Amino acid sequence: MIKVAVTGAAGRMGSGIVRKITEQEDMEVVAAIEMPNTPLAGNDIGLQAGIGELNVPITGSEDLENTLNKTQPDVLVDFTIAPAAAQTIQIASKCGVNLVVGTTGFSQEQLDANLKAVVDNKIKSVMTYNFSIGVNVFFKVIRDLTPILNDFDIEIIEAHHNQKEDSPSGTAVTALETVCDALGRDPNEVAVYGRHGHVGKRTKQEIGVHAIRGGDITGDHTVLYVGDGERLEVKHTAHKREVFIAGVIRAIRYIPNAEPGKISDMTDVLGI
């Protein structure tokens, strides 16, 4: 039985993860963590998630270390916000708890600290901007396709709901990095984030990255390859959050076989 702790457990994603874990025969939720000094402290996470009592009380993140030491989870799942997740990763790593992290918006300093925590404490981890199985196949397609269309203009467009705080999305950033890696370009030198005003003609080297925010869009990502007289679009559309949760469940099952001291991603989980 894989014992799982979930942060942001009462949120939309967290509650969905809790519900899905309870459907698995080889997993159980042993800890549910929310924001510091949460008014939900003490409430049963099962009742909060609408699936009946689980005898797992919600605790505030100010008591995270004590909660982890008490409940001894095998893995902690984090889908929160970058500042909170960065602290959670440090504490969980020191407690020897393996990690599955889908939080986006980390700064480079936070990313470096995340890696150091995993390496120094020799824990197992899966961290990625998108746990959708389909979107990770999308990454493979653009990785294979880009070298063939290396003389085409390339643009990346992403769309998300109006509550998303970071832009561009982590998935769009990964798509950019994938394209640039295939072309031997530096994302910091060629990426153009939106266009406004008299920007001049598009260069062959630049890659445009554009963000759309509106309504309840779960997540759309498109890579455009535009040549003279023709255009190829590679697109992934997520219709509901459950597609990400399915990937989380796979990642949790992958953790026992993951390499200690390494940040794995969904290519490792899916073997692609």
Which amino acid is located at 262 in the chain?
K
DSSP state of 259: P
Please tell me the distance from the alpha carbon of residue 135 to that of residue 243, in angstroms, as a whole number: 10
Active-site annotation holder among 160, 210, 221, 236: 160
Residue from 62, 80, 63, 77 nearest 30 by CA: 77
DSSP SS3 for 95: coil
Residue from 205, 228, 208, 5 nearest 96 by CA: 5
Q: How many CB atoms lie within 10 A of CB 81?
A: 16
DSSP SS3 for 149: coil
DSSP SS3 for 30: strand
Please tell me the distance from the alpha carbon of residue 102 to that of residue 81, in angstroms, as a whole number: 10
Bridge partners, residue 3, by sequence: 28
Please tell me the distance from the alpha carbon of residue 114 to that of residue 86, in angstroms, as a whole number: 7
**What would you measure as the largest C-alpha separation in the chain, in angstroms?**
63
Is 236 assigned a catalytic role? no
The residue assigned the tokens 């894989």 is 2
CA distances from 105 to 82, 84, 101, 180 (A): 6, 11, 12, 20
Active-site annotation holder among 3, 20, 164, 262: 164
Catalytic positions, please? 160, 164
